[in-house]
Amino acid sequence: MSYRSNFERVLSEGKFAVTAEIGPPKGSDPNTIRHKAEHLRGYADAFNITDNQTAVVRMASIAGCSLLLTMKIEPIMQITCRDRNRIALQSDILGAAAIGIRNILCLTGDHQSFGNHPTAKGVYDIDSIQLIQIVKNMRDKGIFQSGDELLAGKPAVVIGAAANPFAEPYELRVDRLEKKIRAGADFIQTQSVYNLDRFNAWMDDVRSRGLDKKVHIIPGVTPLKSLKMTERMKYHVPGVDVPDTIEKRMKTAKDPKQEGYKIALELMREVQTIKGVHGIHITALFWETIIPDLVKEAGLYPRP
């Protein structure tokens, strides 16, 4: 059996996948990404390169992915609908596939008002579900959104999508996941999990509809680096659900950084036991150096 990517191989062989996020720099220096990637080499099956996350201008995701590829490290290119219309998005998909990117995570994107250019005009020509469908049709049917045919190579990419089990209304969350699967998602990376009860409730619903058999579900874990970060995640980042118990632990801890690490490790161990979960996605914001320890201690090293 041939796989489009190593990441797809791991998932398809039923092994527990690990992905991790690498944020490109606010500048053109390629070494920032190279250093991070070198440090993390071997600790994940593929690395998400974000696309101007939180609407802050950074090095292009496609360039970051290209840098990883030259190091023989597998990227997952994140691509958002905020800054590009369907013409640019499809063009970037073709370009990404051409330079060897094999995993693409399709997102709507954080609103520009939250970033460092709040006066920018958002594009939002299409949304993430439409983008998933477009990429799938380019890959499987060889047609663009307009129906026009691709003439020289279909992008052989694994299609990813995001899901947030913690956003209200809860009843709609699994419906939306199902829509993403119907549109063509091969894997799902979720919002960072802190509230395990809520995540379990979502997974119950996912399993009861058999969706875990149709898509690879990879919950996110974000280690809390400080009390300040905990409070920011709890009170200011929309769509993140940090339970009071975790806030309290971070508040009373002698060494909050150590406590944050411990919580992340507990969460990683816990989600590994949930039926239907196919991997873990580590987003260590401004703390990427911690990833190797987390992966090792969670028993997920070496990678298959």
What is the binding site for another protein (CB under 8 A)?
Answer: 113, 118-122
Closest to another protein by CB, 4 or 82: 82
In this structure, what token pair is assigned to residue 70? Answer: 């030259």
Minimum CB–partner distance for residue 264 and another protein (Å) = 35
Q: Write the single-letter amino acid at 174.
A: V
Helix (H) or strand (E) holding 206: helix 196-208
**Distance of closest approach, residue 122 Cβ to another protein, in angstroms:** 7
Helix (H) or strand (E) segment spanning residue 22: strand 17-22
The Cα 103–Cα 158 span in angstroms is 5
Residue closer to another protein, measured from CB, 9 or 111: 111
- C-beta closer to another protein: residue 114 or 170: 114
2-28 burial, b if ≥16 CB within 10 A, otherwise e?
Answer: eebbbbbbbbeeeebbbbbbbbbeeee
CB 123, min distance to another protein, A: 11
Pick between residue 119 and residue 273 the one whose CB is nearest to another protein: 119
How far apart, in whole angstroms, are the C-alpha atoms of residue 188 and residue 17?
Answer: 12
Backbone angles phi, psi at 46, to 5 degrees: -160, 155
Least distance to another protein from the beta carbon of 112, Å? Answer: 8
Nearest residue (CB) to another protein, 121 versus 213: 121
Residue 18: beta bridge partners? 280
Measured from the CB of residue 232, what is the shortest distance to another protein in angstroms? 22
